[in-house]
Structure 1
Amino acid sequence: MNKQELLNIIKTKITDKIRNFENLIAETRASSNDTKSSMGDKYETGREMLQQEINNLQRQLNESLNQLSVIQKISAEPMDKVQNGALVKTDKGFFYIAASVGEIVYENQKLMAISAESPLVKAMFGKKAGEMFSVNTISQTIQSIE
């Protein structure tokens, strides 16, 4: 598998997510401005709910920006142990340790792009091909690392 192409796919997914959050925030702010009225408390509650939604979207946007920052520091170089940027094949599947963007289908192969902060990665971190690890009583063997 070409790790540079995988990185580009992940960057695109995160960039799309960022653009989506920015659009949602802009739309929500616009609808918040539309609720300004002289009719009193009823509209104040509505504006407060919209502000909470904006805050929630802003938090998600910041998480996506942090993911993009992490991705930009990842090297596509081959690796010999599990670390950030490693493409790990276990007897249960493929895992790309980069950012948590979920399932990616690449060259007809499913793989999971997961964060170094996930329990799965923490269990396998630093291990080499041939070593075993266990998460939630499920054991896996690392078959290869790229």
Structure 2
Amino acid sequence: MNKQELLDIIKTKITTKIQNFENLIAETRASSNDTKSSMGDKYETGREMLQQEINNLQRQLNESLSQLAVIQKISAEPSDKVQTGALVKTDKGLFYITVSVGEIISDNQKIMTVSAESPLVKAMSGKKSAEGFVINNIHQKIVDIW
């Protein structure tokens, strides 16, 4: 498994999300400036709804920027135990402990990206290859760690 390639895929996904949020914020601000009405309260309500939408998009943008900052600190060096930056294969799946951006596919394998704060990672944190752990009453065994 090429962890650097996986990190690059994740960085690309996050960067694309950031660009999309920035574009949406700019478009929403532009439409906010275009909103003109002589209806008084209706005008103010519309502007407030647009401002709430901008705030929501800004929050999501900040979250994505935080994810990018985390991913830039993660090393592609091999790991011998479950920790941030480890690629872990269990008998139930393949997990990359970075930031949660969903499923990525590399070398025709599905890899779930999971945050170090997730219950799954907390259950297997610090474990080594061939060790087991239980989450939601399901026993899993660590097959390999990269």
TM-score by length of 1: 0.97
Per-residue deviation at 1:132?
A: 1.0
The 3-state SS of whatever aligns with 2:22 is helix
Per-residue deviation, 1:80? 0.4
Unaligned runs of 5+ in 1: none
How many angstroms does 1:34 deviate by? Answer: 1.1
- Deviating 4+ runs (over 2 angstroms): 36-39
Tell me the distance in 2 between the aligned counterparts of 1:28 and 1:126.
45
Aligned equivalents of 2:36 and 2:142: distance in 1? 58
Task: Give the Cα–Cα distance (whole angstroms) in 2 for the partners of residues 124 and 36 of structure 1.
Answer: 56
* TM-fit CA distance, 1:38: 3.6
Pairwise CA distance, 1:136: 1.2
- For residues 68 and 29 of structure 2, the distance between their equivalents in structure 1, rounded to whole angstroms, comes to 24
Distance (Å, rounded) in 2 between the aligned partners of 1:122 and 1:15: 27
What is the match of residue 54 of structure 1?
A: 54
Query: Equivalent pairs: percent with the same residue?
Result: 81
Q: Name whichever of 43-52 and 131-140 sits farther off.
A: 131-140
**Gapped runs of 5+ residues in structure 2?**
none
SS at match of 1:129: coil
Partner residue, 1:77: 77
Q: Counterpart in 2 of 1:88?
A: 88
Q: What's 2:120 paired with?
A: 120
Select between 131-140 and 8-17 the one with higher mean Cα deviation.
131-140
Distance 2:116 2:95 in 1: 11
Distance 1:70 1:41 in 2: 43
* 1:44 counterpart letter in structure 2: E
Q: What TM-score do you get using the length of structure 2 for normalisation?
A: 0.97
Q: Deviations over 1:69-113 (max 9, x none)?
A: 000000000000011100000000100001100001101000101
